Amino acid sequence: MKLNFLDTSGVPVIVKDGRLNFLALIKAVIIKKKVIGFVTIAFILVGLLIALCSPVTYRTSTVILPQTSGSSGLGQLGGLASIAGVNLGSFMEGGEAVSPELYPDIISSYPFLWEVANTSFDFPGFDEPISYYEKMRADSVKSFGELVVDYTVKLPWTIRDLFRGDEKLVTFVSEKDSSLIVVDIETQRLLQQIEDNISLRVNSQNRLVTIAFEEEGALLSAQVTSYLAKLLEEFVINYKNEQIKENLNFFENILEDKKVEFQNAQKALFAYRDRYRNRVPERQNIEYQELDDNYRFAMSSYQNLAQQVEQYRVSSQKEVPLFSVIEPVKIPVEKYAPKRLFILIVSTISGVFVGIVAVFGILWFVKIKDEWNNLAG
């Protein structure tokens, strides 16, 4: 028996006078069940193909807790710096370590992803450890499963790439600014693929940081996850060390200026003593008192500031964050994806839904066609 999609004989009117008749809708679905069944079977077959051809991936996670002393050594310098005429407000505000809320931005940055892409790992099918970048150059032909996904789930993006062809990212780099980075399309896609496989979640209450990574190999997934945690720690610690270094350089420059002021006040006082030692009683001379007061103030400011800078040099090391591993990295033994049963369930539900929509479309098309024929007649 030939299946005729446009045959609407016996199908009741679903919408009448602007109202939806649910009983008529149910009857229409029953009458046109073959259409719905045909669409559903097609969706199930596509879902089955995707479920069987999608690569098996494993997911590994680790939980770390960043810890800092919670106190800023800059507070020790605030009082003396204000006396010395220096405003450290901006340094006081920027004295904290990198907030865990910024960790997702760090792992999405180009330097971070580039480090991951150029680090060697144990990829399945390769005898020696290679990097993602080397693997990208070696994989010139896609697998059958990748082709199925490209021409089903990712079909719109595949069509877009076909029209683009071998388009390259064009970036103009000024000879006067060597900090600009040129990234070609293939490298961009590689870095985006790595970023898509990374998952980072920060618990706002206890500040626990969960890092997860999904890849085709169980060992590879564990290796990359471990490296992500290590690299994130290095980024955060290096940032804090650079911040401390810049602050120390700033304070030492202030200290050097106060040293020069102290030496100038000392020279002025001693020169005055040598010049008027036998002429005017030193203790009764107003000019001498001013020079002596300036000398004592400069000496006190310099010595106290030098002491506080040295204390900050020692205490600032406590501000460097430490990372405690709460949940270590473990090599997964069960696959994470594809979730084949879930794919089949979603495909079936989608097929039924699209089938019902198709019935509506057929009824609407037939109605418009009949009205057009009546007008033509």
Do residues 220 and 91 share a domain?
yes
Q: Is 331 helix (H, G, I), strand (E, B) or coil?
A: coil
Do residues 145 and 228 share a domain?
yes
Residue 110 lies in a domain: yes
> Which residue has tokens 């033994």?
333
Q: pLDDT grade, residue 3 (50/70/90)?
A: very low
Do residues 141 and 270 share a domain?
yes
User: CA-to-CA distance for 134 and 238, rounded, in angstroms?
Assistant: 28
With pLDDT > 70 as the criterion, what percentage of the chain qualifies?
70
Residue 364 lies in a domain: yes
Q: What is the predicted pLDDT for the residue at 89? A: 46
Residue 217 lies in a domain: yes
Both tokens of 369, joined, read 């066609």
Query: In whole angstroms, how large is the CA radius of gyration of the chain?
Result: 36
pTM reported for the whole predicted model: 0.65
Calculate ∠ Cα 115-121-126, nearest 5°: 135
Amino acid in position 357: V
Do residues 48 and 152 share a domain?
no
Residue 352 lies in a domain: yes
Amino acid in position 33: K
Judged against a pLDDT cut of 90, whether residue 18 lies above it is answered with no
- Which of 27, 365, 18, 91 minimizes the C-alpha distance to 246? 91
Q: What is the predicted pLDDT for the residue at 86? A: 54
Do residues 115 and 149 share a domain?
yes
* Residue 213, strand partner residues: 60, 198
Residue 252 lies in a domain: yes
The parent domain of residue 48 ranges over: 15-53+339-376
Do residues 43 and 176 share a domain?
no
Amino acid in position 353: F
Query: Looking at residues 29-55, what average pLDDT do you find?
Result: 84
Do residues 48 and 64 share a domain?
no
Mean pLDDT computed over every residue of the chain: 77
Do residues 116 and 172 share a domain?
yes
Residue 2 lies in a domain: no
Query: Looking at residues 347-351, what average pLDDT do you find?
Result: 91
Do residues 41 and 86 share a domain?
no
- Structural domain count of the chain: 2
Residue 3 lies in a domain: no
Do residues 67 and 137 share a domain?
yes
Judged against a pLDDT cut of 60, whether residue 369 lies above it is answered with yes
Write the pLDDT tens digit of every residue in 265-286: 889 888 887 777 666 554 557 7
Do residues 372 and 255 share a domain?
no
Do residues 41 and 115 share a domain?
no
Q: What is the predicted pLDDT for the residue at 360? A: 77
Q: What is the predicted pLDDT for the residue at 242? A: 86
Q: What is the predicted pLDDT for the residue at 53? A: 79
Write the pLDDT tens digit of every residue in 229-268: 999 999 988 888 888 888 888 888 888 888 898 899 889 8
Residue 172 lies in a domain: yes
With pLDDT > 90 as the criterion, what percentage of the chain qualifies?
23
User: CA-to-CA distance for 342 and 36, rounded, in angstroms?
Assistant: 21
